[in-house]
Amino acid sequence: MNRIGRIYSSIVFQNISIIIAAGILNILFGPHGWKPDAGMSQFIDPIYRYVLPLMLAYTGGKLYGGHSGGIVANVAMIGLIMASDMPMIIGAIIFSPPIGWLSAWLERRTQDYIPIGSELLIANLIDALLSIGLMLAGYYLVGSLMNDVLKHINSGLVMLVGSAWLPFLSLVIEPAKVMFLNNLINHGIVAPFGIQQARELGKSIIFLVEANPGPGFGVLLAYLMTSSKEEKPSIRGTAGIQLFGGIHEVYFPYILMNPALFIAVIAGGFTGISFFQIFNVGLVSTASPGSILLILFLAPQEDILIILAGVGLSAVVSCIIAHFILVRSHAKRSGSPMESLTLPLGEKEERPSIMILDEPPYSLSSIRHVTISCDGGMASSAMGAAILRRKVKEARLPNIQIEHRSIDDIPTETDLIIIQHQLKKRMNQMHQSTLIIGVNSLSNLLEYDDIVLLIKNRNQSY
């Protein structure tokens, strides 16, 4: 299920700019926008109804069937779109990967029977016939059923949003986020349903359920208040990245060091959702990354101050509880021979990730291709790649290719994989012959200094 969720998350994420584009049009010219304009708002519905489902279908088909699979899925989606009076966003996400796989399977099964010289002609003909067949099947067999399902889902969402159960989602979402499932939740689950609801109602509170930066920011504030003078600058930097940059992964290690802090983020999330629900606020599109600036930009004009207050309130609740937990933790440590708490972005006394470097078979080649990975291959890994590029440039190391990818999309030519150590075990199982370094935080500048030194030493030897 986790792999399926990551697939759906990847499909949505690769088209996030389309979703945000529709959101910008909505927030500027839609019924709840800054300057409602019927002429400009007429572009919003075609994006939701045609452009987004077709692009999602192409992306999902391409994942398993390459360009041909994407084309087949794109054409097939026309049948579902024409058979429904609702945007087939969820339908595109669900059906496009199997369609792409089917296209690739047919290509493999028929390639040995195609006469030499007619490969391209017959391959294109097969794709065309498959596209038409699936399009007609979607229109006559699946479309009406899917339309009814989506209507029931939309009705269920409306009931959930208005019920007392909505805040209890924080019991699942906040811990799951810290376990690095935040991208899966946001893009694989929240965004498709939120988009569907926003198209119907003009906005959706669902977009705020996962994106709210308040709970994590409150934990970082509590750390800031209980940390030493030397640790405060790095925590301030982390808090800024989390709140304004929208990269929530940077606070996850702080909670994993002290699991009792799960209580703080759950309480903060519960408070925020309850507050948003009481005042019936929402966003017009998904906030990715979950920056407070993007959240406020995508909020209807009349909801901005209330959303800001809700984020602040959730941060205060999270901070108070986290402060209490941290003070008790420090008190226990001061009365025992245990070492004091080492923060992820503070000075490191140990470098466990570097201890594997001299072990075979990892000392057999130079490092020319580096991949920084996180669960979704999105915010935190992109930030890490930017940091390492700067470090490599400052060290004047030539011919080093650095990119960021998801765990399931690591290039085979990669010489070095950098990942947060909580995800390292999963990566080891997938890439047993590649050097993998687990770091405490992908925003930790000190750990990148170690990695640059490693690359320099390794490449000087070859």
Cα angle value 371/375/379 (rounded, 5°): 75
Sequence-distant contacts of 362-365: CB under 8 A, at least 24 apart: 362/435, 363/458, 365/415, 365/462
Three-state SS at 378: coil
Do 13 and 183 touch, CB atoms closer than 8 A? yes
The closest alpha carbon to 212, from 287, 103, 151, 126, belongs to 287
DSSP state, residue 421: G
- Token readout for 448 is 């990148």
* C-alpha distances out from residue 402 to 8, 351, 413, 421, 457, Å: 25, 22, 12, 19, 17
Alpha carbon distance 369, 399 (integer Å): 9
Question: CB-side exposure of 360: number of CA atoms within 13 Å?
Answer: 0
Do 57 and 73 touch, CB atoms closer than 8 A? yes
Q: Which residues are catalytic?
A: 374
Alpha carbon distance 403, 88 (integer Å): 33
Do 318 and 214 touch, CB atoms closer than 8 A? yes
Backbone angles phi, psi at 401, to 5 degrees: -95, 125
H-state helical runs in 111-142: 119-137
Q: Is the peptide bond before 31 cis (omega within 30 degrees of 0)?
A: no
- Token readout for 255 is 């909670």
Query: What are 406's strand-pairing partners?
Result: 374
H-state helical runs in 138-169: 143-161
Do 390 and 400 touch, CB atoms closer than 8 A? no
Alpha carbon distance 148, 157 (integer Å): 14
